[in-house]
């Protein structure tokens, strides 16, 4: 079908078969390819483009471009693109959420297993040639325990399937009401008026897998951490600012929650002076997850399907809505 008559600006650096597949999906369109938004001639190209397919988040120029009808950003979290001006009439913004969902779910399980098995302590004992660690007789595996998943999109769904396969009870919380998947024991939703409290209170492991927005900023604070309680663990696979770190640090230090697995932080890279680095009940990864096989092909599946939908006027996958708006400064050091 392609996009005949359209002008498409792209900063994707795909090569070989991946680039050919994108060109085939855009058949008939004028394709303007740049290394990045600072390249010579970029602004003039943007001014006459109606579609932009980008490797990185758009800046203010894109939202002001009068002809632009659709922006696709080739990564999952779109909080940096979800500015109020992104929701102007006639503009759609989409992303590649779901391309890495299986390994993000694995990453959450890596945290859950490592925390349950107290793997940092056993690694330290191994390095010290010491047999065993204090409290090892009190450890419990994941089987028979409860995982609460906050955010039931691509990653949340993949995680529920894996948690159920390990014999866990699965609770989930999502924004929209709807049918409950077979792998979920109980589903809570904002649209149904459900509070997050019940999930926090009942879960041994609370996994954050939701988007960052004005509504979810500091969703997990001191009160919510107290609901998780001294036997519960927090795992953040979402965005750092969803958790109030000023409340998290004392909750961990005082044993008001058992521990945390953290891949994202309010400021990234995590500053060296952060107390989180030295906490024995915290496992940190630097906002990085191992890749799925051919992640670019998985991105292209989403992009090509959205090209088809854009051409025929169907709803686009992974489209930002006004509920996703996020208007706070970026937390980069």
State pTM to two decimals. Answer: 0.96
138 has a pLDDT exceeding 80: yes
- CB distance 237 to 108 below 8 Å: yes
The values of phi and psi at residue 235, to 5°, are -125, 125
- CB distance 244 to 220 below 8 Å: yes
- CB distance 270 to 283 below 8 Å: no
Catalytic residues: 239, 268, 287
pLDDT, one tens digit per residue, over 57-88 is: 999 999 999 999 999 999 999 999 999 999 99
- Reduced to 3 states, what is the DSSP secondary structure of residue 230? coil
pLDDT, one tens digit per residue, over 150-206 is: 999 999 999 999 999 999 999 999 999 999 999 999 999 999 999 999 999 999 999
Q: And the tokens for 56?
A: 């990185």
- CB distance 199 to 174 below 8 Å: no
How much is the pLDDT for 1? Answer: 75
189-202 burial: b if 16+ Cβ within 10 Å, else e = beeeebebeebbeb
Mean pLDDT confidence for 26-34: 98
Q: Which of 13-22, 122-131, 199-208, 321-330 has the lowest mean pLDDT?
A: 321-330
pLDDT, one tens digit per residue, over 243-290 is: 999 999 999 999 999 999 999 999 999 999 999 999 999 999 999 999
Going along the chain from its start, the domains and CATH numbers come out as 7-99+294-324 (3.40.50.720), 101-284 (3.40.50.720)
pLDDT, one tens digit per residue, over 277-324 is: 999 999 999 999 999 999 999 999 999 999 999 999 999 999 999 999
How much is the pLDDT for 329? Answer: 82
């Amino acid at each position: 079908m392609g996009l005949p008559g359209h002008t498409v600006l792209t900063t994707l650096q795909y090569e070989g078969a991946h680039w050919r597949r994108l060109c085939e999906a855009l058949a008939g369109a004028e394709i303007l390819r740049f290394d990045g938004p600072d390249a010579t001639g970029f602004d003039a190209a943007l001014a006459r483009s109606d579609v932009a397919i980008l490797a990185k988040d758009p800046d203010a120029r894109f939202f002001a471009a009068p002809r632009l009808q659709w922006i696709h950003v080739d990564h999952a979290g779109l909080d940096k693109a979800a500015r109020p001006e992104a929701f102007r009439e006639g503009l759609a913004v989409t992303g590649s959420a779901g391309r890495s969902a299986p390994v993000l779910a694995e990453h959450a399980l890596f945290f859950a297993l490592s925390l349950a098995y107290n793997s940092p302590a056993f690694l330290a004992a191994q390095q010290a040639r010491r047999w065993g660690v204090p409290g090892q007789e009190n450890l419990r595996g994941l089987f028979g325990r409860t995982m609460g998943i906050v955010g039931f999109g691509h990653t949340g769904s993949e995680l529920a399937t894996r948690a159920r396969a390990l014999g866990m009870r699965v609770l989930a919380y999502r924004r929209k009401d709807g049918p409950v998947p077979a792998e979920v024991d109980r589903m809570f939703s904002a649209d149904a008026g459900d509070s997050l409290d019940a999930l926090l209170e009942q879960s041994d492991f609370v996994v954050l897998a939701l988007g960052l927005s004005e509504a979810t900023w500091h969703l997990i604070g001191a009160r919510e951490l107290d609901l998780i309680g001294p036997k519960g663990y927090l795992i953040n696979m979402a965005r750092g600012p969803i958790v109030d770190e000023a409340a998290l640090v004392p909750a961990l230090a005082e044993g008001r929650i058992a521990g945390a697995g953290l891949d994202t932080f309010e400021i990234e890279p995590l500053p060296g002076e952060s107390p989180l680095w030295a906490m024995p009940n915290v496992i940190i990864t630097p906002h990085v997850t191992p890749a799925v096989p051919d992640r670019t092909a998985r991105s292209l599946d989403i992009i090509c399907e959205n090209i088809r939908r854009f051409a025929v006027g169907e709803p686009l996958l992974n489209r930002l809505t006004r509920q996703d708006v996020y208007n706070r400064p970026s937390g980069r050091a």
